[in-house]
Amino acid sequence: MRLMSPPVGLAALTDTDLVGQVARVLTQAVVTGQLAPGAKVVEAGIARELGISRAPVREAARLLEQQGLLVSHPRRGFFVRKLEIRDIDEIYDLRICVECHAALLAAKNLTPANRAALRKQIDVLHETADLEDHARQVEEDYKFHRMIVEIAGSKRLLKVFDDLSSEMRMVIGLIGRLYDDPHRIAQTHEALLEVLEQGHDDIIAARFDYHIAAAWREVGRLVREIPSSTNGVAP
Amino acid sequence: MRLMSPPVGLAALTDTDLVGQVARVLTQAVVTGQLAPGAKVVEAGIARELGISRAPVREAARLLEQQGLLVSHPRRGFFVRKLEIRDIDEIYDLRICVECHAALLAAKNLTPANRAALRKQIDVLHETADLEDHARQVEEDYKFHRMIVEIAGSKRLLKVFDDLSSEMRMVIGLIGRLYDDPHRIAQTHEALLEVLEQGHDDIIAARFDYHIAAAWREVGRLVREIPSSTNGVAP
DNA sequence: TAAGCGTCGATTGTCGACAGTTTAATCTTG
DNA sequence: CAAGATTAAACTGTCGACAATCGACGCTTA
């Protein structure tokens, strides 16, 4: 006898994931610069503001620490991480390493379905290119890159990418503007997809390497251009 | 007046880093198999055993979760991660990606000092090869690889490597024995160092790729060979 | 007889409290 | 007046407590 209702694809509702929520709030605050680099993150303050106790805040803060957005000095608390030029170099260097590899794997896993998804995302890039919403543009840009890593099919690769992402968002947030013309970015990504579809390892690696390295150069230039006192990036 | 004893270069006895200590204890328990894959990690149990409260235990558990050693099911607690063949493949795939890159960077940063350090570590490998202490041998093996990533000079690269390391230790722990003859391992590493000193990018990458892939194959073989019921590795 | 329903102990998520430490602000003192 | 000592306020690290929830087990019922 079967009385149990059949499994319908409902999203498991985890309304009690306070830690996760706090982590999201904090991440947002950091990448938007609402919490400036070097700023102290007072547990009790955050807790009071969110109407909760300190315990979940502490756990969330540890998460962000592991992600590299916060640093903790024992007995002194958590602080928003200050990025130095050297950090930005590390971030992009690792990103090249990870994303080139992901691209190679993705090319092998490319199916009509996810190929279409990538195409669609490029359309989104074109659409948002005319808007003045820079944050949105950055978001869609990353989404494209993330999709490739997803297609690569390695959870660990994706985790590394995601951790890097928040750091990169922080950097972009500090710069305060895009590192390139949004239309050009959309076109570039179109080219990336083509190369991916082509499927030649050397070309894929070289192309992704170049693409990310270009962003690296631009970001580096822009960061150096802004006085460090105003952006929290030390030389 | 200065009554405080002068700072000695001791391992910064931060006696109040409970979370760190707990994290170390838990990590050890997991990689040694003392906590078997799939086992539930009861917060109160750990806390009582260590004579502390649950708060630090929770924070430590979150750390290990982020590291991939534990998984948390909301409202059900933390469990020791069960590794599947797929995970092992992911781990080694990422390790190749990361370590090859690290090796290239390390070759560029190679100085007489750290070159000597690597040589010395190879000596240690030879010395411990005769011992029957497998755990020690594995440890020294990783130390060599870690040194290379350290020389590469990227904190983020090192972090990725360290996270992977604990997972790899877990795998090795499950297998329960070395994947190769320790003397052969020592020799192989000697060859790696030579290639590193030579300084040709292509050769370095190819050699490290091959070296790690070989371990991957061996580990994969050994894992498959053991009935999954006894080792916690699902197929 | 087996799916579904209470019930009960075990465990998690969260909270408020307290001691000890750090930071700042104020007060000395040469 | 500046450098150091002193005090007060703020904050962290840790704890124990409590309600909410989960899993197991036996009970009901079709």
**pLDDT tens, position by position, A84-110:** 999 999 999 999 999 999 999 999 999
In this structure, is residue B194 part of a structural domain? yes
What is the per-residue pLDDT for A199? Answer: 95
pLDDT surpasses 60 at B145: yes
pLDDT surpasses 50 at B11: no
What is the per-residue pLDDT for B13? Answer: 40
DSSP letter (8 states) at residue B226: S
Torsion of CA A224, A226, A227, A228, to 10 degrees: -60
Residue pair A186/B124 in contact by the 8 Å Cβ criterion: no
Is residue B121 domain-shared with residue B167, that is, in the same domain?
yes
Q: Which chain B residues are within 8 Å of A62, Cβ to Cβ? A: 19, 59, 62-63
In angstroms, how far is C23 C1' from B4 CA?
20
What is the per-residue pLDDT for B8? Answer: 31
Q: How confident is the model at residue A182 (pLDDT cuts 50, 70, 90)?
A: confident
In this structure, is residue B12 part of a structural domain? no
Q: Which DSSP string do the residues of B53-107 spell out, in sequence order?
A: -HHHHHHHHHHHHHHTSEEEETTTEEEEPPEEHHHHHHHHHHHHHHHHHHHHHHH
Single out the residue in A81, A106, A130 at which a domain terminates.
A81
In chain A, how many domains are there? 2
pLDDT surpasses 50 at A3: no
Is residue B220 domain-shared with residue B197, that is, in the same domain?
yes
Range of the domain at B99: 84-234
Is residue A94 domain-shared with residue A73, that is, in the same domain?
no
Q: What is the average per-residue pLDDT within A43-67?
A: 97
Is residue B174 domain-shared with residue B201, that is, in the same domain?
yes
Is residue A52 domain-shared with residue A113, that is, in the same domain?
no
- Best of A13, A73, A88, A94 to substitute, by most chain B Cβ atoms within 10 angstroms, is A94
Contact A74/B at CB under 8 A: yes
In this structure, is residue B1 part of a structural domain? no
What is the per-residue pLDDT for B10? Answer: 35
In angstroms, how far is D3 C1' from B8 CA?
27
In angstroms, how far is D25 C1' from B76 CA?
19
In this structure, is residue B6 part of a structural domain? no
Is residue A201 domain-shared with residue A125, that is, in the same domain?
yes
Mean pLDDT of chain A: 90
In this structure, is residue B8 part of a structural domain? no
Is residue A95 domain-shared with residue A74, that is, in the same domain?
no
For position B186, which CATH number holds? 1.20.120.530
What is the per-residue pLDDT for A4? Answer: 43
Is residue B119 domain-shared with residue B167, that is, in the same domain?
yes
Q: Which chain B residues are within 8 Å of A19, Cβ to Cβ? A: 62
In this structure, is residue B100 part of a structural domain? yes
> Please, which residues have CB within 8 angstroms of residue B56's CB and are 6 or more apart in sequence?
B18, B19, B22, B47
Single out the residue in A26, A54, A81 at which a domain terminates.
A81
